[in-house]
């Protein structure tokens, strides 16, 4: 059987030598031993005793490696019931192989101090990260390797000594706080030419399993990697700026990229073969995100991907992009993969002039079973994705989603059924293209091997985290908020958004979505775009954020429309909405809304054009900041603004509200409670509390401080001399204060409420409805604050 495998690899090299490892790779063999070390420790149900956790084998293993003659191996073996070697960081030497024999396990210490690069640098979460030495380092160690039928276990899910967290808990904490975890990786190679991994099982790495840097000649043959899907940043094998790499006959089950090929500024990545492998959970067969060194001449063949988040992926961005070319994927079977094909030059929203360009990418004999979402994008018209699809079949396309842009796609010569279309996509048949039959994937999805000779230490897999993490720098699950919204379950999700600027349009169509900025304040996380009424088909089509579903909650985030950054504000066409909300029971807490004309649309749903009927929609804004100048809070919602700052931006006069209640019985209106109306009168001119966009406009100010920019009259007709809507509108105040709080000078249509009359507009009473909705209680419950005066 092994001879057959060697011939198969050799044949592959001859057939496509231009696109893969230039070496003739055959199955490795174990060298003769220079030293055989016996295990001294026993793990009962995968656990060492407290005393044994202090008995490190690091020194005797390292001495064995240091004194071993090149071309030989240090063998770690079981002795009786003792099967464990406990170690801190080890360093390989040129020509020396470390063998972990069958039924033996090399175990990483749970003491962060033994991995410190500097005092206290490992086992922490901070901005810097990368404070740990790896378990095994091969630096300038050529012709060395790690082999054996046993296992190496990083114990990522075991409690650290003296602490109540695991390595994987640190990774999760870093994700929550938008920081970096310092945890050891199992293996790092640097300038370790002709390094070999053979048959070894790698388990539960705290971080990456294997990183290969600046190495000419690396072989991974028969390697098994088993780590839970939920373990963050646990890449399988990552070759980086190296040449002549072969990964073959491997089984990889990971929590991040199964394989990720990268090229950073230290050099190109070229001549790679990934053949005869099986991938399970993980992020698939990836290139990137660092491609600025250039990636070329790669062949991926005979690959199964079963149940992964991604299948075939090329990812980069403007801060670290480069040329990816001469890449061939052939004989690939995918099943139940969430994103079967993902070619993205905008993996993050980082900016820069290192532009990604993907050329001469070929998929041949690729079959996709199950539904999923695929993205096939080039950067722009000058940097199109050049892709050939030869006998590519995607089943269940009806339930799948396909997106493509800036791509030049050639189909054939064997025409499959995958024919992507999209913005600026050129689709061309290859000369003489003919119909084909899908690659038969029957029997191509085996179970992961039993690993009977590779012991496992006790380790708890991280719980499934239903939170969707978004980070513009690519460190989260998604770099785009809308991408996360699209991936969210139909019944909603929590999206935690890392600090950064997200220039995109958001549309929330699913109920029960929470959007939470993870920064120190709302200004740290900004969602922004620059659509306008004039350019995008009307005011309600200009919104940066569109909330169309019920039970939405946003907090600690900014929604902005910066149309006026590049366009002067005109009488017509300059309406530019930052937030449009039509969903019922929507809550906005500590949210900034930035714009000028028509910043915030707080409205209802299903209104007939004549306003004959509407479905009420209730919204609650607490401790928010809203800025604009003309009608910048408008719509027909039933809305409360509680303790918000409403700021008027420079303009020659303006209007805070333009509420649009259509008819007397319509259940809508705005209540502003304990707010502050701010602005510099010398810049804003006279600002009115509101004007009636529709005849029965309803706005009530309670306990609100008003700056000097507020015109003493308070309210103004929509179009003086042409409309008479003040006669039917309901505009009221109670306990207004500040330079602009001038009840005696108000327009005579103003209702100056008594304390008893004002009670009916108390925020929670006003919003309660038939379901007794209490947004203050909801906020208090999620923050752990049990005190809430729901009628205040």
Rounded to the nearest 10°, the torsion over CA 172, 175, 181, 184 is 50
Where is 581: in which H helix or E strand? Answer: strand 579-581
Where is 176: in which H helix or E strand? Answer: helix 167-177
Q: At residue 474, what are phi and psi to the nearest 5 degrees? A: 85, 0
Contact 189, 220 (CB under 8 A): no
Rounded Cα distance, 22 and 219, in Å: 12
Q: At residue 169, what are phi and psi to the nearest 5 degrees? A: -60, -40
DSSP string, 294-345: -EEEEEEEEEEEES-SEEEEEE--TTT--EEEEEEEEEEEEES-SEEEEEES
For residue 729, give the nearest of 645, 686, 670, 786 by alpha carbon. 670
Contact 110, 159 (CB under 8 A): yes
Q: Supply the DSSP symbol for 552.
A: -
- To which residue do tokens 């995918």 refer? 334
Rounded Cα distance, 463 and 228, in Å: 10
Would you say how long the chain is, in residues? 792
Contacts of 560 (CB under 8 A, 6+ apart): 526, 527, 528, 544, 578, 592, 593, 594, 595
Question: What are the residue numbers of the active site?
Answer: 256, 283
- To which residue do tokens 């649309």 refer? 601
Contact 252, 258 (CB under 8 A): yes
For residue 325, give the nearest of 273, 385, 242, 265 by alpha carbon. 385
Rounded Cα distance, 367 and 161, in Å: 47
């Amino acid at each position: 059987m092994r001879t057959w495998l060697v011939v198969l690899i050799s044949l592959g090299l001859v057939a496509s030598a231009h696109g893969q490892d230039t070496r003739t790779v055959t199955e490795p063999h174990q060298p003769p031993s220079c030293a055989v070390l016996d295990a001294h420790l026993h793990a009962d149900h995968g656990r060492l005793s407290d005393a044994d956790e202090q008995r490190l084998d690091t020194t005797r293993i390292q001495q064995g490696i240091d004194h071993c003659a090149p071309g030989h191996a240090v063998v770690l073996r079981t002795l009786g019931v003792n099967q464990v070697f406990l170690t801190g960081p080890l360093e390989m030497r040129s020509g020396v192989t470390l063998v972990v024999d069958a039924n033996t396990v090399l175990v990483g210490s749970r003491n962060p101090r033994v991995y410190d690069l500097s005092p206290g640098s490992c086992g922490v979460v901070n901005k810097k990260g990368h404070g740990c030495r790896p378990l095994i380092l091969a630096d300038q160690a050529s012709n060395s390797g790690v082999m054996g039928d046993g296992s190496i276990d990083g114990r990522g899910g075991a409690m650290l000594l003296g602490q109540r967290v695991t390595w994987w808990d640190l990774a999760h904490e870093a994700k929550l706080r938008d920081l970096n975890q310092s945890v050891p990786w199992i293996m790092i190679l640097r300038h370790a030419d002709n390094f070999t991994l053979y048959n070894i099982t790698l388990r539960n790495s705290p971080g990456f399993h294997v990183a290969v840097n600046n190495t000419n000649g690396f072989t991974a043959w028969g390697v098994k990697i088993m780590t839970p899907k939920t373990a963050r940043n646990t890449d399988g094998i990552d070759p980086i700026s190296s040449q002549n790499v072969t990964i073959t006959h491997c089984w990889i089950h990971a929590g991040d990229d199964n394989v990720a090929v990268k090229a950073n500024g230290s050099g190109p990545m070229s001549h790679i073969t990934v053949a005869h492998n099986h991938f399970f959970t993980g992020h698939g067969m990836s290139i990137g995100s660092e491609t600025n060194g250039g990636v070329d001449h790669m062949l991926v063949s005979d690959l199964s991907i079963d149940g992964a988040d991604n299948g075939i992926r090329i990812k980069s961005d403007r801060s670290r992009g480069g040329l990816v070319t001469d890449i061939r994927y052939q004989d690939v079977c995918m099943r139940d993969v969430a994103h079967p094909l993902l070619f993205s030059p905008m993996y993050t929203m980082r900016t820069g002039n290192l532009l990604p360009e993907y050329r001469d990418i070929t998929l041949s004999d690729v079959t996709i079973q199950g539904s999923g979402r695929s993205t096939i994008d080039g950067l722009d018209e000058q940097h199109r994705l050049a892709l050939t699809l030869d006998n590519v079949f995607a089943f269940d396309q009806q339930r799948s989603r396909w997106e493509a842009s800036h791509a030049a796609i050639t189909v054939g010569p064997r025409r499959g059924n995958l024919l992507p279309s999209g913005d600026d996509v050129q689709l061309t048949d290859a000369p003489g293209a003919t119909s084909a039959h899908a690659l038969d994937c029957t029997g191509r999805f085996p179970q992961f091997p039993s690993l009977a000779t590779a012991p496992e230490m006790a380790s708890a897999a991280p719980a499934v985290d239903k939170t969707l993490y978004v980070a513009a720098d690519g460190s989260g699950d998604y770099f785009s908020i809308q991408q996360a919204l699209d991936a969210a379950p139909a019944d909603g999700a929590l999206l935690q958004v890392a600090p950064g600027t997200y220039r995109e349009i958001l549309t929330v169509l699913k109920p029960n979505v929470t959007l939470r900025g993870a920064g120190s304040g709302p200004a740290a996380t900004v969602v922004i775009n620059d659509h306008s009424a004039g350019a995008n088909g009307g005011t309600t089509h200009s919104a940066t954020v569109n909330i169309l579903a019920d039970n939405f909650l946003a907090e600690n985030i900014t929604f902005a429309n910066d149309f006026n950054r590049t366009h002067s504000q005109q009488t017509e066409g300059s309406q530019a909405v930052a937030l449009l909300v039509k969903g019922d029971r929507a809550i906005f807490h500590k949210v900034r809304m930035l714009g000028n004309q028509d910043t915030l649309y707080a409205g209802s749903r299903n209104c007939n054009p004549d306003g004959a009927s509407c479905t009420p929609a209730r919204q609650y804004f607490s401790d928010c900041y809203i800025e604009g100048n003309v009608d910048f809070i408008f719509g027909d919602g039933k809305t409360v603004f509680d303790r918000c700052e409403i700021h008027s931006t420079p303009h020659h006069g303006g209007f805070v509200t333009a509420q649009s209640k259509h008819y007397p019985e319509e259940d809508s209106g705005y209540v502003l409670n304990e707010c502050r109306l701010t602005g510099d009168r010398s810049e804003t001119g006279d600002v009115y509390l509101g004007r009636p966009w529709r005849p029965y406009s309803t706005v009530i100010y309670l306990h609100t401080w008003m700056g000097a920019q507020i015109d003493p009259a308070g309210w103004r007709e929509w179009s003086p001399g042409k409309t008479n809507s003040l006669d039917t509108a309901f505009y009221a105040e109670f306990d207004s204060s500040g330079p602009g709080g001038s009840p005696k000078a108000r327009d005579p249509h103003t209702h100056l409420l008594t304390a008893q009359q004002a009670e009916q507009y108390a925020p929670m009473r006003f919003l309660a409805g038939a379901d007794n909705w209490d947004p203050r209680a909801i906020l208090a419950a999620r923050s752990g604050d049990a005190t809430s005066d729901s009628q205040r």
